[in-house]
Amino acid sequence: MGWLTIEHVGYQWIVGFISGLGYVLTLLLVPRVLLTKKRWPSSTVAWLMAIVTVPVVGGVLYLIFGIDRLKKRVSQRRIRRETMHRLRPVHGWSGWHTQEGFHESLRRLVRVAEVVGETTPTFGNSIQLYHETPKAFAAIRQALEASSQSIHLEYYIWQPDHLGTELRDLLIRKSQAGVAVRFLYDSVGSLRLSKAFLAPMRDAGIQVSAFSPGKTWRERWSFNFRNHRKIIVVDGRVAFTGGMNVGDEYLGLSQHFGYWRDTHLRLEGPAVLQLQHVFVTDWYSATGEELTKDVLFPPPTEAGTLVAQVISGGPDCEPSVFHSLMFSAIGEAQHTLSLETSYFVPTPSLSAALVSAAQRGVKTRVMVSGPVTYWTTYHACRSYYDELLDAGVEVYEYRRGQLHAKTLTIDGHWSLVGTPNFDPRSVYLNFEVAVAMYDQGIAMQLDEQFDRDVADTVQIDPLKWGQRSLWEQLKENTCRMFMPIL
């Protein structure tokens, strides 16, 4: 009985300590959340719910994920961007477009992109769309093999699997042949990259660096601000960007995800140098090395007739680049609007913009990932269907496999393809990049691909949707409540 009493007392002490810790964390963190979480009110509510309802766990999660440790470095990153902007070779930015022939709605979109994205449209580009990932990787391999001077790579996820190892070994061969190779990866997205995997790259002379939002240990102890960009620039003349990371799952080899539907771009022309500028700015931020040699910014040649504008954004930009751009583009739509996204958790204003577009007669179509995606994201996404369906938005769930494309087309003449999803993480927290294209041909290709994808979807029927069970509604609304912090 004595031992039982001691154990019982010990148990009570542990429970009391945890309860006390929970109360202390709640008292300390609730005022902090109220004072600091202002950008998106629902995020404030979600964190308060987590801290109050699950005191210790919610408090610890907030300390890891919720605190903005990047704020103190925002001004420094802006200075670095401005520094690289001044140092880049002037001749690398010929090929800009005067907007002649653009109608008023396109001019307004150019203006928004110029103001928030600090870039201008460029003329003379050639852009190839890839919707099948094996074809995209084949084009990437070909470009890497043909490199003669430099290869720059920036990725959110690079898996040390068969595909990741194959491309790594290709880069090693090119470096040994005298090509300057630089590889920037996100320290959380590419968490599986080990020292053993990277060692052969460094031994071959490849410069490797991890992206992190800050320099100090305290600033790095944050999982929120991730570099979600996917960029390859070869010799300053050929570039790739879009939704694809590097890993076997992107070839459709994952048993869970199955077939992988993505959209990626191959670019030639002046827009390549804008992607190069995004890379060298991120490289400078990560390593302090200034990449300003003329060889990295060769005078662009006219590769085609397409007008394109590379836009980058992140948590160091105010206002939010992609939130402003997406909101403005949806507001400009007069006839058609097609959106494909892997994660659909719109901010209140973006949701209202879609609803408004449908209400004013715009044929508004939204395609999202089906049930193979993350459980919480899937159900949170479904919580938005009611308001969309009531307004007349056509909603499709992709069922063939994983839909990972991030595309938006407006009225058959403006398109946005890149890395940002239609969710708060992309528009507020991640470092993202995309290409705005002012071209009917590209918009038509994207709309035609949307039509083909419809065959692999289930369209949500408004009448049947309204009859779903209360249990389904409970799951959706619960996940929606916590999505701003996930």
| Residues taking part in catalysis | 228, 230, 235, 404, 406, 411
Amino acid identity of 218? R
b/e code 226-264 from CB counts within 10 Å (16+ = b) = bbbbbbbbbbbbbbbbbbbbbbebbbbebeebebbbbbb
* Rounded Cα–Cα distance for residues 19 and 24 (Å): 9
Longest CA span, the chain: 90
Angle between helical axes of 271-287 and 74-87 (0-180°, round to 10): 130
* Rounded Cα–Cα distance for residues 408 and 416 (Å): 5
319 preceded by a cis bond (ω within 30 of 0): yes
Dig out the tokens for 458 from the structure: 């289930």
| Three-state secondary structure call for residue 420 | coil
Residue 259: φ, ψ to 5°: -60, 135
Q: Do 324 and 291 contact (CB within 8 A), yes or no? A: no
CA dihedral of 159, 161, 166, 167, whole degrees rounded to 10 = 0
* Rounded Cα–Cα distance for residues 436 and 447 (Å): 15
**Which of 273, 323, 266, 293 lies closest to 132, judged by CA?**
266
* Rounded Cα–Cα distance for residues 355 and 352 (Å): 5
Map tokens 């910014």 to a residue.
297
Positive or negative CA dihedral for 260, 261, 262, 265?
positive
* Rounded Cα–Cα distance for residues 65 and 375 (Å): 20
Alpha-carbon Rg for the chain in angstroms = 24
Contact partners, residue 16, CB within 8 Å, separation at least 6: none
| Three-state secondary structure call for residue 197 | helix
Dig out the tokens for 473 from the structure: 């509604």
Angle between helical axes of 470-482 and 375-382 (0-180°, round to 10): 110
Q: How many CA atoms lie less than 13 Å away from 59 in the CB half-sphere? A: 18
What residues pair up with 179 in beta bridges, in sequence order?
none
* Rounded Cα–Cα distance for residues 152 and 231 (Å): 8
What residues pair up with 366 in beta bridges, in sequence order?
339, 395
